[in-house]
Amino acid sequence: MAPLTTTIITSLLIGLTAGTFGGILGIGGGLIMIPLMVAILKLTQHKAHGTSLVALVFTGIGGAITYAANGSVDFTAAALIAVTAVITAPLGARYCNALTGKKLKIYFGAFLIFCAVLLFLKPYLPGFISTAPGYGKIIIFLMTGAITGFLSGLMGVGGGTIMIPVMVILAGFTQHMAQGTSLLVMVPAGAIGAFTHWKLGNIEKGILWGLIPGIVFGTFLGGNFASIIPDNTLRLIFATMLIFVGLRYFKKSAVE
């Protein structure tokens, strides 16, 4: 492990990078943070997932407050999604801990590619899927929470890549409302998932001193950049990057 000061500075830069991308795209940033922690800080895949969740709780708090101040959070939807997410997040964290490092890398690589496909298809999905009526939205929110919570605990991400398209496509939310609501859900779901990872020994506490300030400030920067850079351009660049990193995970797993 590098000297403490160097590690904190490195983790600060990782958090800043992940937060900036996350703020621009309205997601937590775990998809960026985890590969960087594994590649640069040499964390195990398990510790990268657990540590990521701790940082994402703070991203959710800061982001949700900002969006709520602008009236872009649906508290009812957030509560419904969180109800099931907090139940399944610990299950995902325990399943993560039970996997071998090789299997976890394969699953994470597949998850990155799946998220990339969702981002590529995002502009076309509303034309094929209708917004759910009435009480159907409640069922959608509860099911979304159950899936998101499990994936959050397993993959160490906030789950915005799953929640946001569902809320926009099936619940008729605006992009900003979906992003704000997603950030709020990250707080309870991420907290209980992170707590489970902490009990399992999957959190590298030393790097949190740099990681948390970096990702919070990066989220703030990304939120401001989002209004300058065209959404479609960012979405395609980010999706391409996810596919590249996902394929690298598969390649690494094949030689282990």
pTM (two decimals): 0.83
Question: Helix or strand or coil: residue 160?
Answer: helix
List, in order, residues 6 or more apart from 143 with CB less than 8 Å away. Answer: 84
Structure letter (DSSP) for residue 127: G
**DSSP assignment of 159-200:** -HHHHHHHHHHTS---HHHHHHHHHHHHHHHHHHHHHHHHHT
Q: What is the pLDDT of residue 112?
A: 85
Residue with tokens 């701790």: 54
Q: What is d(CA 216, CA 183) in angstroms, rounded to the nearest whole number?
A: 12
CA Rg value for the chain: 17
Q: Of all helices (H) and strands (E), which one includes residue 225?
A: helix 208-225
Q: What is the pLDDT of residue 145?
A: 93
Q: What is the pLDDT of residue 79?
A: 96
pLDDT tens digit at each of 256 positions of the chain = 556 688 889 999 999 998 887 777 767 788 889 999 999 999 999 999 999 999 989 888 877 887 888 888 999 999 999 999 999 999 999 999 999 988 898 988 888 888 888 777 776 665 444 555 667 788 889 999 999 999 999 998 888 878 887 887 778 787 778 888 988 999 999 999 999 999 999 999 989 999 999 988 888 787 677 667 666 776 677 778 788 888 888 877 665 6
Q: What is d(CA 23, CA 43) in angstroms, rounded to the nearest whole number?
A: 24
Q: What is the pLDDT of residue 128?
A: 46
Q: Judging by beta carbons within 10 Å of its beta carbon (0-12, 13-18, 19+), is residue 6 exposed, middle or buried?
A: exposed
Start-to-end Cα distance in the chain: 22
Chain-centroid distance of CA 200 in Å reads 20
Structure letter (DSSP) for residue 131: P
Count how many Cα atoms sit within 13 Å of the Cα of residue 253 in the half-sphere of its side chain: 18
3-class SS string, 12-76: HHHHHHHHHHHHHHCCCCHHHHHHHHHHCCCCCHHHHHHHHHHHHHHHHHHHHHHHHHCCCCCHH
Helix axes 45-69, 75-98, angle to 10 degrees: 170
